[in-house]
Amino acid sequence: MRERFNRYWKDEGIVIRSTNLGERDRLVTLFTQKRGKIRALAKGARKVGNRFGASLDVFNYSEFMFYSGAGMPILMQGLIKFSYRDMTSSLIRWLEGSYLLYLLDRCWQWEKPEEGLLERVLYFWEIILKKGEDVYSSFLRFKLDLAFYLGIAPHLESCVLCNRDVEGEAYWSNQEGGVICPSCASKVPEKVVFPQDLRAILRYLSSPGGNLSSLKLSFFQFEELDKILSDYLSYEVGDKVMNWHDFRSLYQGAVFSS
């Protein structure tokens, strides 16, 4: 606890995004081990030969030194410990890696540390960099992780309302947070159809031993599940969380038109 009151502190983590501030500085959003998602001011970061090097670029895991003044923490120094810079080797990888940062930024509260979540980002970045692994099921897994750490893990084993096992056709409710059986469906005004194959995939992905590489997920199944989970997160965080399809379309368009 002593460190909390120290004006200088060290922390490790990743950059979620950074924007230019005036001629010299950058405003950086980070996700660190000890403090979670925070904003910090990197003074002089736009100057040539500044002391941050590439540590303020996304796709690095770095050690940072901060100073607490009256306002926002000041970022004093950054030292890359591990780089995932191969993520920038193709547009699609860059988009895939950035999507995890987007989800973290969109769904996670300020100043709530969660080391487990930080580890998951690094783990899924590694999957993206290993060609051949299923990136799409990683996106679903990451959304389930986010829901878990937000304390809103969806109820998938049985009907949320009556707790009976569900066979065949069923529904998904954002408000109830999971599966709704046909008998209870009339009590829930807002719901979407949640077919058996999709339920089985999501249950598998949410189980601790759920092995990503042994799962064969069709693109259609992925898009349906991704939409359900993105809408669920949107409902819970009270802000639009784009699914992968929309995120990719938006940013691919932005990159090609610039």
Q: Which residues bind Zn ion (CB under 5 A)?
A: 159, 161-162, 181, 184
CB of 187 to Zn ion, least distance (A): 8
What is the DSSP annotation of the chain? -GGGG-SEEEEEEEEEEEEEETTTEEEEEEEETTTEEEEEEETTTTSTT-TTTTTTSSSEEEEEEEE--SSSPEEEEEEEEEE-GGGGGSHHHHHHHHHHHHHHHHHSPBT---HHHHHHHHHHHHHHHSTTS-HHHHHHHHHHHHHHHTT---B-SS-TTT-----SS-EEETTTTEEE-TTTGGG-SS-EE--HHHHHHHHHHHSTT--GGG----HHHHHHHHHHHHHHHHHHHTS----HHHHHHHHHHHHHH-
Please state whether beta strands 60-67 and 36-42 pair in parallel, antiparallel, or not at all (unpaired). Answer: unpaired
CB of 198 to Zn ion, least distance (A): 18
Of 53 and 195, nearer to Zn ion (C-beta) is 195
Of 153 and 188, nearer to Zn ion (C-beta) is 188
Say how far apart CA 238 and CA 221 lie, in whole Å. Answer: 25
CB of 71 to Zn ion, least distance (A): 52
The H-or-E segment that residue 18 falls in is: strand 8-21
Of 161 and 228, nearer to Zn ion (C-beta) is 161
Of 95 and 159, nearer to Zn ion (C-beta) is 159
CB of 232 to Zn ion, least distance (A): 18
Find, among 60, 208, 17, 33, the residue nearest to 116 by Cα: 33
Of 20 and 163, nearer to Zn ion (C-beta) is 163
CB of 179 to Zn ion, least distance (A): 8
CB of 154 to Zn ion, least distance (A): 15
Of 95 and 161, nearer to Zn ion (C-beta) is 161
Of 118 and 198, nearer to Zn ion (C-beta) is 198
CB of 8 to Zn ion, least distance (A): 56
